[in-house]
Structure 1
């Protein structure tokens, strides 16, 4: 049996200070549980940021050049709790807050949302780092995770300029939300299951990356690949896919590109506040499967909203985006006439550019079990197979308690008590969810677990001597001076 008595122990580690990780910390603050969480040992790590203060709290949200799929008031609601009022008082009159308030009932640009979340997160993190027992390490990556029973053994590394030797820490509660990525292999597997494949000259581009590019860079990247002809094919049918159509049509209008093809597996679904609104728009829906039984909204979870909705309506009605003089060809590859698959196959064969907009997979550290064998998490449509707390399952169906993932690429299943349409079988993401129900379940579970006796190893005091001894054993050197520096210099000036 492995001996963990020489490894620094924390009651909870939060890895990733983006919208999901900050949602967890906001919930702990709103519920008055942060001091207790800190008292039991709270370590917050993020690969971004700098010792003098960095951009934490929004992840890459502020880099996207598209509008949100929620109105501004949804994001304001993340800051509205009375328990947060004193922390966010310094934001009153700030242009980042007032800008979102000015468009409270329309969809703001994501870069504006990102700026507000960073400003609010800075204030919360500034408070957290004053709590005894809480530490914030910026520029720190989580490289490896070993699961031993229901505990997490973490290997961390620091950005250049700090001690580069790995640190090992242990926690019974790891909130792990490092963001999401788009894997070409995932796309290829998805196409293969539909008996579809790419041409030999096709290059797959991540829609996530393209949606963050300026128009000029987008043109210089894509147009040279079309010199010998061919088409651009976007794969996906959700908000990001239609946002991609919007971005491409704007950037490539008045060039030799006159048509974009969109392959989507399921029917394109549109969001409406109620049945009357959908009927007025001429939209046909299934009253049993497309209507949320709690809110009465049409395609509440899976429908296109706001700018993406406008693009979807125009394309469905006319097959064209008139303002950009761009034709859009829609091909559904899901169940239906075999002619659809033939059309899709022909389109892919003629596509040197394929843009992936069919979802995300979570960014994860290298994961192993107690015997150092690779550990793989089970996936379902749209994310990870997990319970309401965000505890994932492995490939054998075993629930990994003490590990919590609910951010981009992971998501959570629909909660029937909150409502959704029966037709939606994906996972729920979103800033509002991260700051409310998704992270609240994880918080409640963590507070219960930190109150339990640790049967594998009693909590070790995290004094400088204890930390020094732990890492001397783990790395063969005395890291006390480096760790002392970390605890003092890795806390940003603003945060």
Structure 2
């Protein structure tokens, strides 16, 4: 007989079926809401039992509404995004949403490494940096702990800021004094009574304050702002708790001491069974842990989804709250400000949540601990452990070294997997070197823009895969996220890491099984040609040890970067951007990354009607403009506030000439049509969100241009371009990317001058994806792929004859280009063997 399943969360609200008398009372009273006798009795009983009858409390329909009301009351007015609400990045989305609904911009700060709540040093640093722009502080009592509220009372006094405590999981917790958490403190503390919490009903929340006047104000706001009968005297909404939920809340209040005792016993059992793990440190005489929270070892954190899946196979539910933290959420990446949060990054990457609820007993804990240890042991592949321990022997040989395990490097494995050729590719030796902890994602998750590849393109990597573990990804959560964007204008890049990471790790596992070596947290410093052919590749491992491995071939997949020096040297309207823009010049990279728009907004805070010049005709230029147009809170952009300055015509992609003409677009000829696919502007044309913006600006098909944007072609009017740059408050250089490349040395140790070293936006590779030197000749045995590599499809791969520039795209990398590189690598080995 299989052991019982232990879910991560098992709601245990009071049983309505046992409350017949109380429910009949509600029916007979005829009052089902509007502060009826059940809700009023609950508020009075909670005040006495939990808060020693000091202050006042108000029951609301849910805790998010409670946070919204408390934030608006504490902020004093609707700041329309002009002031910040400071909160930890490691918290639930409701906190940040509530701040935004209250008219504030969330400001995310780092966490304390011990209890995972807001870091005191980070709070003080932010208060010093932002001053009175911080109107509200919203700490989170993480997962039911009792944080230091004296600190926030002192902070409010010293800085004059409002304070609202998000204590969603802490209703019924006792602080170090043995008093209910929050008791006596003047600011609002907001609790949840959701079914998944320790204080479980069906839904609901409770707002407490030691200041009864504050609760009176919040009570009015939660009743449509009625400060007089049927008369709105302040901001308001409907937040009232229904009477039936009041019945459930009163019943749960009677159980909460037993619930707290039981959870404390489970918590103690976990600490004994999993001695040696890093746990969240809970404070208080009786914290109410929502679940058991610990950190996985860093060398296994990237396998967290595998570990959770292995636990599920043993009937154990597990999760990862809150991963990613709020700074990584697409909405907040575009609308909030995130400080540097290395501790929150680490916690979110490593956190594992295990069951802790009333459906368990202490005898269940050893079973869960055993299952976890078994999952960790099964996940730690020996080759990976050896690599992270720095045990790759100096001088070891391999067939191919792939430098970079991000989307570019993994695209070659995707292409091999689609043809069932991973084992063939690995047969003569394969080593993948990745600077980070995980494969597949690169830096894509750090961007606040949408992809220039469709959701369908992402999903082709797993469709009809001959490898069962890749095909099985169709049912993974990360895949379902991507699927939601089928038919949409791209996928928010911040949402792609779960899918790309899972894909990369599964491809890596298949390669390892075939004999490949994967080196994580390892950097390739350089490579030197060997006299007998091949390369000596110099690595720096996680322990800062430097060692060499020999390789027949190298594949450079290190991505690209924007160069301020190149941007300053760019000539527009007969002059350099350095001269025209001076200190107002920034790179588009800084805008389109997470938090970039907020930083830009801050830099323009004193400008009532900012003017922004975006220089460039690349996808990054269009993505920058699109991001500025949809910023929340909206930037104060008037007519023509954004000037897009370009030197080549901006063209939309069309699937056929007929489709283009049907849409009213005919600015193309035969040279602009791909002879293989029939696509119009297959390579030069903008796609997805950028395409929609271009179609609007060109007024194609009756579309209305956005009045906030003006396009200036420098070949048509240098004077207008110059004026736009000189009069702009900010000039954003969106001039494409340069390849990161790799330092290559010849047999004598002299640096090989590469085409990629040239000024501007040079190519790294030729049409065979071979890295080329400054003279345009291929460097034998070295290939390149990815952002800024510069490959341009031709011949059987298609592409319009008129195209000039670089071709990038996930579809090309994972299909035609990736397959071509696999063929070249295998052909080179065959020739070398012959």
Q: Does 353-362 or 202-211 show the bigger shift? A: 202-211
Q: What TM-score results when the alignment is normalised by the length of structure 2? A: 0.48
Question: What residue in structure 1 maps to residue 518 of structure 2?
Answer: 136
- Residue among 665, 669, 676 paired with 1:294: 676
Question: What residue in structure 2 maps to residue 446 of structure 1?
Answer: 825
- Residues 343-380 of structure 1, C-alpha deviations (whole Å, 9 max, x = no match): 22222223352222221111123333333333232159
Question: What residue in structure 1 maps to residue 660 of structure 2?
Answer: 278
Distance 2:540 2:573 in 1: 39
Shift of 1:433: 1.1
Distance 1:356 1:171 in 2: 39
Q: Does 1:425 align with 2:813?
A: no
Give the direction of change, closer, same or farther, for the CA distance of 1:32–1:74 in structure 2 (3 Å limit): closer
Shift of 1:9: 1.9
Question: What residue in structure 2 maps to residue 186 of structure 1?
Answer: 566
Question: What residue in structure 2 maps to residue 14 of structure 1?
Answer: 402
Give the direction of change, closer, same or farther, for the CA distance of 1:372–1:345 in structure 2 (3 Å limit): farther
Shift of 1:228: 10
Give the direction of change, closer, same or farther, for the CA distance of 1:371–1:71 in structure 2 (3 Å limit): same
Question: What residue in structure 1 maps to residue 743 of structure 2?
Answer: 366
- Residue among 568, 589, 593 paired with 1:208: 589
Q: What TM-score results when the alignment is normalised by the length of structure 1? A: 0.79
- Residue among 780, 783, 806 paired with 1:401: 780
SS in 1 for 2:644: strand
Shift of 1:141: 0.8
Give the direction of change, closer, same or farther, for the CA distance of 1:284–1:94 in structure 2 (3 Å limit): same
- Residue among 198, 223, 238 paired with 2:604: 223
Distance 1:331 1:64 in 2: 27
- Residue among 327, 341, 349 paired with 2:726: 349
- Residue among 51, 64, 72 paired with 2:447: 64
Distance 1:38 1:329 in 2: 52
Question: What residue in structure 2 maps to residue 490 of structure 1?
Answer: none
Distance 1:244 1:111 in 2: 16
Q: Does 1:76 align with 2:76?
A: no
Which segments of 5 or more consecutive residues in structure 2 lack a partner in the other structure?
Answer: 1-393
Distance 1:322 1:443 in 2: 46
Distance 1:200 1:261 in 2: 14
Distance 2:537 2:581 in 1: 41
- Residue among 484, 495, 498 paired with 1:115: 498
CA contact (8 A) 1:11 1:37 kept: no
Give the direction of change, closer, same or farther, for the CA distance of 1:157–1:283 in structure 2 (3 Å limit): same
Q: Does 119-128 or 349-358 show the bigger shift? A: 349-358
SS in 1 for 2:770: coil
CA contact (8 A) 2:590 2:596 kept: no
Shift of 1:403: 0.5
- Residues 379-403 of structure 1, C-alpha deviations (whole Å, 9 max, x = no match): 5986515333311211123211210
- Residues 387-426 of structure 1, C-alpha deviations (whole Å, 9 max, x = no match): 3331121112321121010211113122232222222111
Distance 1:45 1:281 in 2: 47
CA contact (8 A) 2:560 2:738 kept: yes
Q: Does 1:124 align with 2:507?
A: yes
- Residues 53-107 of structure 1, C-alpha deviations (whole Å, 9 max, x = no match): x3x20212233222222322222112224423x1224423222212333433333
Bigger Rg, structure 1 or 2: 2
CA contact (8 A) 1:382 1:411 kept: no
Structural mapping, 1:374-413, within 5 Å:
374-379=751-756, 383-384=762-763, 386-413=765-792
SS in 1 for 2:675: coil
Distance 1:130 1:301 in 2: 38
CA contact (8 A) 2:569 2:577 kept: no
- Residue among 24, 27, 43 paired with 2:412: 24
Give the direction of change, closer, same or farther, for the CA distance of 1:341–1:397 in structure 2 (3 Å limit): same
Give the direction of change, closer, same or farther, for the CA distance of 1:194–1:271 in structure 2 (3 Å limit): farther
Distance 2:753 2:616 in 1: 25
Structural mapping, 1:198-347, within 5 Å:
198=578, 199=580, 201-214=582-595, 217-223=598-604, 227=607, 231-251=611-631, 255-258=635-638, 259-317=641-699, 327-334=708-715, 337=716, 340-347=717-724
Shift of 1:330: 1.3
Distance 1:193 1:14 in 2: 42
Distance 1:100 1:8 in 2: 40
